[in-house]
Amino acid sequence: MLDIRWPIGLMFTLVGAILVLTGALSSPESYQRSLGININLWWGLLLLLFGGLMALFAWRAKNRPDQPTARDPGSRQNP
């Protein structure tokens, strides 16, 4: 089955990159409304980090063939 961390990771990496680029290229005047903080740049970096971590987890799970966890102890106790 599809690992949901891939789409989450990729999407936030992409959106983060767009925000970082926007933040880096736009003039400081455009940040008056965000109290003078270049919020696109900073929040973009945070999204990049989050997206990157998600993708990293997904990648690790893919390369380390998971022990099937479906046999959790709880499942055998079904009433």
Partner 1 sequence: MQSIQLGGIDYSILIIYSLFVLGIGFALKRFMKSSEDFFLSGRSIPAWITGLAFLSANLGALELVGMAASGAKYGIATSHFYWVGAIPAMVFLAIFMMPFYYGSKARSVPEYLKMRFDERTRCLNSITFAVMTLFASGISMNALAKLLHQLLGWDYNLSLWICSGVVLIYVFKGGLTSAIYTEVLQFFMIVLGFAPVVYLGLKDVGGWETMTHSLSNVAQDPARLGLAPGSYAPDAWSSAWKPLLGGPTANPMGVDLFAMVFGLGFVLSFGYWCTNFLVVQRAMAARNMSAARRTPLIAALPKMLFPALVIVPGMIAVTLASLGKDGYRLPPKMLVESAYAKAVPAVKEAASQKLDAEAAAKRIGEAAGVKMFPDRVAALLEAAPTLDDKSLRNHLQNAVADTDYDGVILSLVKRYCPSGLLGLALTALLASFMSGMAGNVTAFNTVWTYDLYQAYICPNKSDGHYMWMGRVVTVAGVLLSIACAYFASNYSNAMDIVQLVFGFVNAPLFATFLLGMFWARTTSHGAFYGLLGGTLTSALFHSLTLAAGNNPGLKGGYLGVAQSFPSEMAQNFWLASFAFSACFLLTLVISLATQRTKTNEELKGLVYSLTPKLKDEEQAWYLKPTTIGWALLAGCVVLNIIFW
Q: Tokens for 58? A: 């997904």
72 Rama class: left (phi>0) / alpha (psi -120 to 50) / beta: beta
**16-45: contacts with partner 1 (CB under 8 A):** 18-19, 22-23, 26, 30-31, 33-35, 37, 39-40, 43-44
Alpha-carbon Rg for the chain, nearest whole angstrom, is 19
Cα–Cα nearest to 1, from 53, 73, 56, 68: 68
Strands (DSSP E) along 1-79, which ranges? Answer: none
* 53 lies in the site for partner 1, by CB under 8 A: no
Q: Which is nearer to partner 1, 34 or 62 (CB)?
A: 34
* 58 lies in the site for partner 1, by CB under 8 A: no
Q: Which residues bind partner 1 (CB under 8 A)?
A: 1-2, 4, 7-8, 10-12, 14-15, 18-19, 22-23, 26, 30-31, 33-35, 37, 39-40, 43-44, 46-47, 50, 69-70, 72-75, 77-79
